[in-house]
């Protein structure tokens, strides 16, 4: 099939696929080089990556060809390679962030990030409530699950500690925050995500509530009622974490 005979939407899709692959390759390449540029073991990894890149460059051409058994088989192989590249890149990125957290430990007293000793994709964060808010007396625990496509895909973050906030689901702890959904960028780190959650506590958005009762208080102008409820739950659920986080 000639290129001119291929529908425009297929060519666009093929081009987007190639861009995604190339971007993922560049991230992994930078991460490996920054970790140990002189280590002999990295040479073989970089050589393998160059081989993967050659496959990726030809991917749009393969997508424009008629489907065949060989093509389907090659796509399955490429999908598996893609998953491996994603996993390698996410691990490299997370190990880099882990080293930065260990190096800068104590510099940010509002955030304490802890990585699961058995799973680099599971993290726990303890964040202090921002000052001049009903949450300032508490320390809140966050559960962070990082997907293998990170940093192209945002982490899943939820409150473990009960909190009364319009943008946090009271039962599940789900957080309504744009950077965890449509506004995500690979430039964000787990540390900066925690900082964004703290900012959300200080600046609740009543127009997009996950806790409708809390959102209704703010929309109706009952700020006193909102602060009273938020402070009560902070003292009940989050104040007990203060002594644990400081020890």
Q: How far apart are the first and last CA of the chain?
A: 68
Cis check: omega of the bond before 74, within 30 degrees of 0 = no
Q: How confident is the model at residue 105 (pLDDT cuts 50, 70, 90)?
A: confident
Nearest Cα residue to 197 out of 125, 148, 106, 247: 125
pLDDT of 45: 54
- pLDDT category at 3 given cuts 50, 70, 90 is very low
Higher-scoring residue by pLDDT: 40, 81: 81
| Model pLDDT for residues 188-222, shown as the tens digit of each residue | 999 999 999 999 999 999 998 999 999 999 999 99
Distance CA 89, CA 85 (A): 6
Spell out the CATH class of 111-246: alpha beta
pTM above 0.75, yes or no: no
Cβ atoms < 10 Å from Cβ of 129? 24
Domain ranges in the chain?
A: 3-103, 111-246
- For the segment 22-33, the average pLDDT, to the nearest whole number, is 58
Catalytic residue list contains 65 = no
Mean pLDDT, rounded, for 79-86? 67
Q: Look up residue 215 and give its two tokens.
A: 């959102």
Q: What tokens appear for 151 in the block? A: 């940093």
| Active-site residue, from 65, 176, 194, 212 | 176
pLDDT value for 64: 44
Contact 101, 199 (CB under 8 A): no
Q: Which of 217, 220, 247 is nearest to 232 (CA)?
A: 217
- Distance (Å, whole) CA 158 – CA 225: 25
């Amino acid at each position: 099939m000639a290129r001119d005979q291929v529908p425009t939407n297929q060519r666009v899709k093929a081009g987007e696929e190639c861009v995604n692959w190339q971007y993922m390759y560049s991230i992994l390449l930078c991460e490996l080089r920054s970790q140990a540029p002189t280590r002999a073991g990295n040479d073989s990894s970089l050589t393998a990556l160059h081989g993967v890149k050659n496959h990726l460059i030809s991917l749009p051409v393969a997508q424009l060809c008629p489907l065949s058994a060989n093509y389907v088989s090659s796509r399955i192989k490429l999908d598996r390679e893609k998953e491996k590249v994603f996993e390698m890149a996410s691990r490299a990125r997370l190990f880099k962030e882990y080293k930065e957290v260990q190096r800068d430990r104590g510099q940010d007293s509002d955030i304490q990030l802890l990585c699961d000793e058995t799973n680099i994709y599971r993290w726990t964060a303890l964040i202090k409530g921002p000052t001049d808010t009903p949450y300032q007396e508490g320390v809140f625990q966050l559960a962070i699950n990082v997907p293998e496509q990170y940093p192209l895909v945002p982490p899943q973050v939820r409150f473990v500690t009960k909190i009364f906030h319009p943008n946090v689901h009271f039962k599940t702890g789900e957080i309504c925050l744009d950077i965890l959904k449509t506004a995500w960028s690979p430039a964000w780190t787990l540390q900066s995500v925690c900082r964004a959650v703290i900012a959300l506590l200080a600046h609740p958005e009543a127009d997009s509530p996950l806790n409708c009762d809390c959102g209704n208080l703010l929309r109706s102008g009952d700020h006193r009622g909102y602060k009273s409820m938020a402070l009560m739950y902070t003292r009940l659920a989050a104040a007990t974490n203060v002594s644990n986080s400081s020890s």
